[in-house]
Amino acid sequence: MIEKKRLHLLFEWGGGTLWSANDTARACLRPGPVEEQLPIDPTILEQLNALSQWHDSALDWADPLAPSPWTAQEQAHFDQAALALVQLLEVELGSDYEVIYQRL
């Protein structure tokens, strides 16, 4: 049985959303964020970019050590949007892939 390519939906400050999460994925994808290497519809890439920008609003850029300006409700709303995107990505990429959301 061939292992699925596992990806992490993991938001980095300033960019990067999808990352290889196992050797099977790393064997066929270059290091670093991999969203541009995958056969993903441009509208889904736009959604990844929008979530990445939203994610970056969770940091007080003027004082990165300060608590997040997000409320618990906004965090929960973001997590719901990320999980919905995981479902879209798994449909888009097919059964060879597994996408796991790594919460903030």
Residues listed for the chain? 104
pLDDT tens readout for residues 9-30: 999 999 999 999 999 999 999 9
Which two structure tokens, joined as six digits, stand for 76?
Answer: 């929960």
pLDDT tens readout for residues 72-96: 999 999 999 999 999 999 999 999 9
The mean pLDDT of the chain is 96
Q: Which long-range contacts (CB under 8 A, 24 or more apart) does 32-41 make?
A: 34/7, 38/93, 39/92, 39/93, 40/89, 40/92, 40/93, 41/92
What local confidence, expressed as pLDDT, does residue 72 receive?
97
What local confidence, expressed as pLDDT, does residue 76 receive?
97
Q: What is the pTM of this model?
A: 0.93
C-alpha to C-alpha distance for 73 and 22, rounded to whole angstroms: 32
% of the chain beyond a pLDDT of 90: 95
Question: What average pLDDT score do residues 31-41 get?
Answer: 96
What local confidence, expressed as pLDDT, does residue 1 receive?
73
